[in-house]
Structure 1
């Protein structure tokens, strides 16, 4: 992984990435730390992996706070931000990366609870800590972002619809975020090679990833997509608050 943001460009800032003990979240938090940001690594149930990443990032000379939280539990979310406030006093970058819904054994409404309700709850809980000039980034997929106009694999459709519902609910908050001077941007990517979602989709629908790769010409890997997410935390916000990553030629207009 090469450094994405200029060294020291985020010195003195604090960034929290949900679901950052592994995958896209871990690489995003690493890019932000490499730019000098103090970081909050959030995980649901992989404490040792989160602690290992924190130790690595502290080696860069930044502070790294590790906080476990179940984002579908409001109490747990409040405790997360109480810890952030106690340690850092405020927050400059919030990346809403954690999502799911394809896990086995979850309640029928789990995808909607995590991908819509929890995303809004996390942002509302973070608001008191987000000052003028802060940035919120919501991470989604083309399959979810364009679900109203472009069908997706049946196995993924409930997740796609729940993530689009989450995106819509967050977009409704843009006017109130603007009033506070808080920027908001959605980063949407195609299927990302090497993610848990891609693995589960491949298991449910063998050949799905290779078919999509062939159709798109290229699929981003985890570190490449994470670089786009980190960049979205600092780049000027597009007029439509949307950063599309990768090919969208096979997706209809929203």
Structure 2
């Protein structure tokens, strides 16, 4: 958790309400802290582990920020609406939605879970959110180079179903751009390479030993959780972003060559 106090940061998000899905740990938690430090009230979303989410909220509050933990499974119909309602009820509005939650490598969640979470749940979350978001709001979809470029560049066998489902989610959100334009809501895509210390990277390295080292060698360096979260946060409320802008964090040299 960042030790930077909210008062030391520009308060460009003061008075705004934010939802960050999958924010009880990792990239989502680090991003939540950065967004809260800029004045936003943040809904910290978790699926099952409330103590972990409460710890994130406590860290934000101790740094002078505002946050609330809300349990919601995005693959269930009621999950998205619960997060929207929490932002409006606790912070007065929903102005920022960061779609960070993803998965699909869980062995106990069913064969179609990746598509349900990485495509269907993302679309449902956006549909619920834009009913409450005022013009000028922003939606940020977090993905990976392995998913963003899956139609051009093969990825590890263990990750391919997840990558394809995340690309399907990205495509589905891009198809919603006319609706977002009508609402005055901007979509931003943030794509990064494998991130050191994440659950996905750990599972991939377990399934295919050496996977992390191979990506590190190909990319030159891999971002840490905190470093990637800072890149996501830097795109929030950034002036001049075009609709559906795609930010390739750290570049994507070997992907772009294919």
Find 1:30's aligned residue among 33, 49, 64.
33
Deviation per CA, 1:146-184, whole angstroms, max 9, x where unpaired? 000000001000000000000000011112111211111
Q: Is the 8 A contact 2:61 2:67 kept in 1?
A: yes
Instruction: Note if 1:155 corresponds to 2:158.
Output: yes
Instruction: Name the count of aligned residue pairs.
Output: 254
Alignment of 1:55-134 (within 5 A): 55-134=58-137
How far apart, CA to CA, are the structure 2 residues paired with 1:93 and 1:135?
A: 5
How far apart, CA to CA, are the structure 2 residues paired with 1:34 and 1:86?
A: 20
> C-alpha displacement at 1:199, in angstroms?
0.2
Q: Is the 8 A contact 2:43 2:86 kept in 1?
A: no
2:147 alignment partner in structure 1: 144
How far apart, CA to CA, are the structure 2 residues paired with 1:57 and 1:151?
A: 39
Q: Is the 8 A contact 2:177 2:244 kept in 1?
A: no
4+ residue stretches of structure 1 with deviation over 3 A?
Answer: 1-6
Q: Is the 8 A contact 1:136 1:182 kept in 2?
A: yes
* Other structure's SS at 1:170 match: helix
How far apart, CA to CA, are the structure 2 residues paired with 1:58 and 1:141?
A: 30
How far apart, CA to CA, are the structure 2 residues paired with 1:132 and 1:59?
A: 31
Alignment of 1:149-188 (within 5 A): 149-188=152-191
Q: Runs of 5+ in structure 2 lacking a partner?
A: none
* Other structure's SS at 1:130 match: coil
* Other structure's SS at 1:191 match: coil
> C-alpha displacement at 1:207, in angstroms?
0.3
Deviation per CA, 1:212-234, whole angstroms, max 9, x where unpaired? 10111110010000111111212
Q: Runs of 5+ in structure 1 lacking a partner?
A: none
2:248 alignment partner in structure 1: 244
Q: Is the 8 A contact 1:149 1:253 kept in 2?
A: no
Instruction: Note if 1:233 corresponds to 2:207.
Output: no
> C-alpha displacement at 1:2, in angstroms?
7.2
Kindly report the root-mean-square deviation, in angstroms, between the aligned alpha carbons of the 2 structures. 1.8
> C-alpha displacement at 1:61, in angstroms?
2.9
How far apart, CA to CA, are the structure 2 residues paired with 1:93 and 1:205?
A: 36
TM-score normalised according to structure 1 size: 0.95
Find 1:193's aligned residue among 191, 196, 219.
196
> C-alpha displacement at 1:251, in angstroms?
0.7
How far apart, CA to CA, are the structure 2 residues paired with 1:12 and 1:242?
A: 27
How far apart, CA to CA, are the structure 1 residues paired with 2:31 and 2:173?
A: 21
> C-alpha displacement at 1:76, in angstroms?
2.6
